[in-house]
Chain A
């Protein structure tokens, strides 16, 4: 146990956080949206429970910061659904981030998460592969993406992200996006082995200094390409770049660089008439990922693209937009508690069924993995597809003039 660190942490709690927890009136509203609580129905793992634990440390009501205490904070998707509904304005995200940072500082990061951090730091990616293998997804393509050897001025650099780069089941997403860019006549660059993990998993582990190193490297590498825009298909990379990089590296770090998520880029292309779609007579629902929707406030761009597809019917699930239900793939929970993480997507699949959708469109490779994996395990007949894949499938060969 970490008794000497109790002081450190209690100190932090009493210094800055009293106003964080005192705002909690314990109404319980956050329980109604927390995916973990909805699954376990155990208060200790609920958002209100976490605030109470945090408070108990601040008020010396817990004897020590123990691994059990830590486990409650790692049993969290960092999805921020709780903060979104809290009528009292409790900044649960600030509390969770602070506690995770304290825990890492105390040496209480669980082994599985410590391993993840070590891998990212040594390999530059989350799957312990040679970082030069980042272009593995391009290998089985009919023609090599032009972004591989771009020259001269390009419109954008595509930051592929670890999962899409290195997990074969996700290759189809970057392949689709590269194909769309080429068909729409957009020039772009790929960073290959120069791309590193965006740093988000490190931040979730409470290790912001390590995340900062990743951030610095990535921004520099992107600048080398000379592209004025950086586009990503991963909402977590996007949120890191767009919101966290300026926080940890300074406001001007992105000067001259526009950060775009694939959904914004696709909506822009559709609006500019650079994409034209074949009809797709399917009832789809759109799943807002936490990092893109609730945390980055991008709700309309993906829906705009879907509405541009003729004959497609878009229906909403019970929990949508800012109140979207996390797929279960957030917060490094999958690394920390795989069994629980795998139980979570089922509720989301049921919501899609109840909405009458046969297809769930996502704009996140992690949501796709999580939801599609659960659909397969539970034998639920519902298709999960990334927006880039939808567009690649439905795009007319001849783009508009």
Chain B
């Protein structure tokens, strides 16, 4: 419980209507897309940077934790207020401020829904490439704080590659602008990209300027059915090494296929172990040539059926299955732990094999689906949280997954961030010196440790 005087002070900053304290509100702001939860003491929904700044001044003075929150679609428990305090939801700050066609950059407030920013850019005839599957239910600020990436990042890179400038508010309430529209900038440390991926622990992002690009003329998509998962892994590698230059390679394993088929009844075959979804883009000739190369490689590597979409609708249908997996898994088991370990291209087949071993070893269904082309395999462990013994096995399996990833030269997280769920493994991935240096950065930016305390590391 916060001191009523402080509550009143916060109310005077953001307005009573946007200072939420009822038991119902505390429930609604206690979770993200993981299976964990913890209630805040209070929620503020500021409408501008000044209010963000004023709230942080109060919180810093009183040493109250402040957890920035977008749309709570995070998969690392990053926006859950484990230590109570204030949840600061940026969702009302959702204005698109500028589309600068000359510099090909857009500026928006942090709470804008990512897909709405992309749609505004598309209306001008351009492409904002970052395309997290969750882009219609996550914010630009959340995408920046987690450095989100989507299917297209194989060719076009992740959110961080598009962030040019930020307005952030520091723990003590000072407002700071970072970066700018110049495309090359080596004036001091690159603080923009320190904030990218910082999961709300260094500053609150209130505004961002992102780059966009010319939209590729056309896209081609192919879907390949593999009786053997291992063959799909080899095919990914071969396509990457070819001249196909894919903009996306997504994988769905057997369990993912079954789960999504049960949800959508699309007529997917149920006797195969994997589907690869491959996309190319560019001008007509490039896209077509690329998809044909990729399709041929899949056939050679053991696909028993390869379909190349001929219409936009067919492409949409192919994508529909992939886009619906994550959610449809709830039909199998109530809980899932989605890991996003990412390994170097060369290690994709090896990692797939290791994941399956871990699944057998711990007797837990582990589903693989996701942006496989960039090595981001998305193994999802399915379980029932109410069964303590099973939850225990999950922990062990997670440990093994991280070991395996790091063992083949990969990372703990490709896109979801560390949050609290991967905290115990941070040193395994980074080594003690790097963790120590990161902690020092945190201390310098947030000496009172009020910004999302306990995330990434203690």
A-side interface residues toward B, CB under 8 Å?
22-29, 31-32, 41-44, 46, 48-49, 52-53, 56, 61-63, 66, 68-69, 72, 86-90, 354
Contacts and interface: CB of A to CB of B under 8 A. Distances in A.
A62 B24 CA distance: 7
Contact of A63 (B23, B35, B92, B335): B23
12 contacts: A27-B73, A27-B137, A41-B89, A42-B89, A42-B91, A44-B22, A44-B27, A46-B28, A68-B23, A87-B326, A88-B327, A89-B330
A43 B331 contact: no
B30 to A, nearest CB: 8
B263 interface: yes
Nearest to A25: B330
Given A41-B45, A41-B92, A89-B263, A25 B336 contact: yes
Nearest to A24: B330
Nearest to A30: B137
A90 B323 CA distance: 17
A42 B136 CA distance: 16
B156 to A, nearest CB: 23
Given A41-B91, A62-B23, A68-B22, A25 B327 contact: yes
A86 B327 CA distance: 7
B138 interface: yes
Contacts of B414: none
Contacts of B20: 42, 44
Q: Chain B interface: which size bin?
A: 35 or more
A68 B134 CA distance: 30
Contact of A27 (B89, B115, B326): B326
A88 B335 CA distance: 11
Contacts of A354: 123
A312 B136 CA distance: 33
A31 B71 contact: yes
A66 B138 CA distance: 30
B256 to A, nearest CB: 12
B19 to A, nearest CB: 12
Interface centre among B29, B123, B335 (most CB of A within 10 A): B29
A61 B134 CA distance: 29
B137 A28 contact: yes
Contacts of B45: 41-42
B268 interface: no
A87 B263 contact: yes
B136 A52 contact: no
B328 interface: yes
Given A31-B71, A41-B45, A44-B27, 5 more contacts: A25-B330, A32-B113, A32-B115, A44-B22, A90-B330
B24 A32 contact: no
Given A28-B71, A41-B45, A53 B24 contact: yes
B135 to A, nearest CB: 9
A41 B29 CA distance: 12
B31 A52 contact: yes
B32 interface: yes
Contacts of B25: 44
Contacts of B28: 43-44, 46, 49, 52-53
Contacts of A90: 330
Contact of B331 (A26, A53, A72, A88): A88
A61 B325 CA distance: 30
Interface centre among A28, A29, A31 (most CB of B within 10 A): A28
Nearest to B115: A32
A-B CB proximity, top 6 nearest: A87-B327, A88-B330, A41-B91, A32-B136, A44-B28, A49-B28
